[in-house]
Structure 1
Amino acid sequence: MRLLLVEDDNHVAAALSAVLAKHGFVVVHARSGEQALQALLPAANEGKPPFGVVLLDLGLPDQDGFQVCGKIRKISSTPVIMVTARADVRSRIHGLNLGADDYVTKPYDTGELLARIHAVSRRVPSEEEPERAADASPDLGRLSIETDTRRVTVDGSAVQLTRKEFELLALLAQRPGVVFRREQIISEVWRTSWAGTGRTLEVHVASLRHKLGMPALIETVRGVGYCLVVPPAHQGQ
């Protein structure tokens, strides 16, 4: 996911960009409100994936972040998360009323920030991706996943999964063949950045392979993460 980070402090931006990159984000850094607005214009992103989220600091050198948020809403529906030291209730309310999708105060827990990023990107699709919101479940051959009912079947037979097993499978099934980094999976499914969750992830992957009866369905990409592979019987049809 491409993410627009609007932050005038280069040291803060560099540290946060490193964390976000580790979790699979491609970060574009804007140091002012004007740079942020220019980055969101369609002409600036021709041929590039749209931004999934904007992280917007309020203390910018050229204009207040509240003003920037209002201007963003006139040109884009990209989710905006205000990330600021202003913790008073009035600022929170004002930001949300201007169109921000979330409001996070500094200092923040990195795991919580990552969870909020993933949450708003799921529930607020950008205008550049209207087909994603209405897109049907991907064609997975023998495997069927119904996200609304949380029902999973293999060859028409229902498979009982735990809540986390379902969320893990549904995440991988969003983009079959695409490798999801371990950190990204842990962030989205377990809402944490704690490295100790890695063992829990491995256990859930093993359990899914066993319950679905398709050991090759979830491929381990050593040192990176996991991806869902369409069952061979379906490939080439």
Structure 2
Amino acid sequence: MVSKILIVDDDKEIRNLIAVYLENEGMQTEKVEDAVEALKLLEKNAFDLIILDIMMPKMNGIQACMKIREERSMPIIMLSAKSEDMDKIQGLTAGADDYLSKPFNPLELIARVKSQLRRYKKYNNEPVVNKSVLEIGDLIINADTRQVWVQRKEVRLTPKEFDILELLGRNKGIVLSVSKIYEAVWKEDFFKSDNTVMVHITKIRDKIEANPKNPIYIKTIWGVGYKL
């Protein structure tokens, strides 16, 4: 099956250059100049991988990556004219799978694209039976019935506790910041001094963890956030 790649960059020359190299490798490409247009395109089309620039007008690549990761798991390779480690960390924390600084060697980008596609297809070639049911070890989350089970025993969560757990479950392995969790669940702007998320995480752990002080499901990534 031919791989479909979405290229998101406000520089037309870079978009066209990347597309030429990818298409020479037998891949299909779609090019857009900003993240807002990319998100609209993702609502209607399926892609195997996204090449996403960080510095763009309207919405930057970090924001777009976090938005994409709310629902989609295809590989994302981020591009940036900056080479600072902090930019790379931010990109990977937001959910990117790889990062490449500009100017880059197109052949290196192609090699990274192929590597990510191989990994993604290897671990995602089984059909998903029910996307509303998430299974993480002995933890089962049913988004349709809003029920949770741990080791076959049902656990009662409040609506907000369930929303947080489901958000973490749908982003399994991805570190979500406290502000990201708060804004996704409460639909409000986050204030740095607010400890609401931490309090709810503590309550969830008390209900789903055998030992809340040594959790196996919800991990704290100090200075960054939480992941499932």
Please, what TM-score do these two structures have when normalized by structure 1?
A: 0.50
Q: Which amino acid aligns with 1:37?
A: L
Provide the residue aligned with 2:47 in structure 1: 51
Which among 60, 63, 67 is matched to residue 67 of structure 1?
Answer: 63
State the 1:125 CA deviation.
3.9
Residues 1:111 and 2:107 aligned together? yes
- AA matched with 2:100: V
Whose relative contact order is higher, 1 or 2, with alpha carbons under 8 Å and at least 6 apart?
A: 1
Give CA-to-partner distance per residue, 1:142-172, whole Å, 9 cap, x none: xxxxxxxxxxxxxxxxxxxxxxxxxxxxxxx
Give the Cα separation in 1 of the matches to 2:127 and 2:118. Answer: 10
For 1:131, the equivalent position in structure 2 comes to 126
Moved over 4 A (4+): none
Instruction: Say whether 1:10 aligns with 2:5.
Output: no
- Out of 11, 19, 37, the residue aligned to residue 35 of structure 1 is 37
Contact 2:32 2:38 in 1 (8 A): yes
Specify which of 109, 112, 118 is matched with residue 122 of structure 1.
118
What amino acid sits opposite 1:68 in the alignment?
A: A
Q: 1:158: which partner in 2? A: none
- What 5-or-longer segments of structure 1 have no aligned partner? 134-237
What is the CA–CA distance in structure 2 between the aligned matches of 1:83 and 1:120, rounded to whole Å?
A: 15
1:100 & 1:114 partners in 2: Cα distance?
16
Are 1:93 and 2:95 matched, yes or no?
Answer: no
TM-score by length of 2: 0.52
Identity of aligned residues (%): 33
| Paired amino acid for 2:68 | I
Structure 2 portions without partners, runs of 5+: 129-228
CA contact (8 A) 2:9 2:53 kept: yes
The residue type equivalent to 1:117 in the other structure is V
Distance 1:6 1:126 in 2: 25
Once the two structures are TM-superposed, the CA of residue 83 in structure 1 deviates from its matched residue by 1.2
Shift of 1:79: 0.5
SS in 1 for 2:48: strand
Q: How many residues align?
A: 126
Asked whether the equivalents of residues 73 and 99 of structure 1 are also in contact (C-alpha less than 8 Å), the reply is yes
SS state at 1:51 partner: coil
> Aligned letter for 2:42?
L
Secondary structure of residue in 2 paired with 1:124: helix
Structure 2 CA distance for aligned equivalents of residues 101 and 90 of structure 1: 16
Kept after mapping to 2: 8 A contact 1:7/1:13: yes
Listed one character per residue, the Cα deviations across residues 85-111 of structure 1 (whole Å, up to 9, x for unaligned) are: 111000101111111000001111122
**Take 1:125 and 1:93, find their aligned partners in 2: how far apart are those partners?**
25
CA RMSD of aligned residues (A): 2.1
Query: Aligned-pair distance for 1:124?
Result: 2.5
Give the residue type in structure 2 aligned to 1:29: K
Say if 2:6 and 2:47, in contact at 8 Å, map to a contact too. yes
State yes or no: 1:19 paired with 2:14: no
Partners of 1:125 and 1:98 in 2: CA distance = 21
